Amino acid sequence: MPEVLTSRYLFGPGPSNCYPEVTAALAYPVIGHLDPLFIERLDRTCEGLREVWGTRNSRTLPLSATGSGGMEAAFVNTVSDGDVAVIAVNGLFGERMCEIARRCGATVLRVDHEWGQPVDAERVLAAHPHPKVIAAVHAETSTGVLSDVEPLGAGKGDALLIVDAVTSIGGLELLADDWGIDVGYACTQKCLGVPPGLSPFTVSDRAFERRIKDPRSWYLDIGLLGGYVGAATGSRTYHHTAPVAMIAGLEAGLDRILSEGLDVVQARHQAAGSELRDGLEAMGLELFAAEGSRLPSLTTVKVPDGVDSAAVRAYLLQNFSIEIGAGAGAFASSVWRIGMMGPNANRASVQLVLGALQEAIAKA
């Protein structure tokens, strides 16, 4: 038996709560993946994705996998045995990139950074004279750090630039074309306000030309996927059955964001993040991410000495139905991650989490 319905305030690193338009769309009648009405929906979805990616790439589409599947698609389509991949690592998701690139057969050159610090483009660009790909995370979900990827695009030379935009897409400025991003992947469950399950994906013509022509993965082969979704050719070939309900939800989320105005939504995320940081510091807490590189969508804050991180999170869940995140990796019990993403990026959410957190620290 399904349990009694429980609502949560999802103020962790994701999933966030959904926009109400998304919830409604998920319960639309299902339409077949080859139905003309669905094809129109898919086209509108791909067009909306171009807007939030800041791209005109024809191959911009929702992959039928989560963000981690998008990460795998980025590498399996660009690197194979012996290709050199320079990967900036300043958190868990940079590390995951290295592991996935290794499994694709790439020779991985990782450029390590202290967690909490942004990517140092100069060091990354100096790591190898002519790598096949350079990869970095725009918004590190594990540390709450925003990195400037534009210098990587400017200095990449012949390399393809792969960027993880999981925690920026739909809430922060993201200009894939202007910044020289060749392959971008993201997820739906953070600033887009859609449940997890799809990966917004974009590939430049340049990257498509230089793709691995017979990649190890059939499911994520962009050469085949391009024939069905995000087609540049005008004709469509069945590849796999699209996750139609999730795509209806994504379409509704994109429509909501673009109707509100992408700049307005971004400003809402900036304001919520700023007010949250101020409030946490006013409580005497210390922020984790380096100053000047703090994500508005996801704030990391140090757990005060003597406070039981897990007990505070449990108190918030039990007393307020609020979820915040533990830290990642070595910081699991010494950092909290607080997301203000999608519909949660507003002043009410900030007040709610600040008040509840203060009580939880005092009483947990």
Q: Is 7 one of the binding residues for a second copy (CB under 8 A)?
A: yes
69 near a second copy (CB under 8 A)? yes
148 binds a second copy (CB under 8 A): no
How far are the Cα atoms of 100, 111, 171, 186 from residue 89, in angstroms, in the given order?
A: 13, 6, 23, 17
Cis peptide before 15 (omega within 30 of 0): yes
17-25, 129-137, 266-274, 296-304 -> range binding a second copy (CB under 8 A): 17-25
- Sketch the per residue contact string, 264 through 293, with a second copy: x for CB under 8 A, - otherwise: ------------------------------
* Residue of the chain from 323, 340, 357, 361 that contacts a second copy (CB under 8 A): 323
Q: Is 164 in the site for a second copy (CB under 8 A)?
A: no
Question: Which residue matches tokens 């140090």?
Answer: 302
The smaller minimum CB distance to a second copy, of residues 19 and 179, is found at: 19
Restricting to residues 199-258, name those near a second copy by CB under 8 A. Answer: 214-219, 239-246, 248-249, 251-252, 255
Total site size for a second copy, rule CB under 8 A? 70
Annotated binding site for substrate: 337
Judged by the rule CB under 8 A, the positions of this chain that interact with a second copy are: 1-3, 5-8, 10, 12, 14-15, 17-18, 23-33, 35-37, 40-41, 64-69, 71-72, 76, 96, 99-100, 103-105, 187, 189, 195-197, 214-219, 239-246, 248-249, 251-252, 255, 317, 323
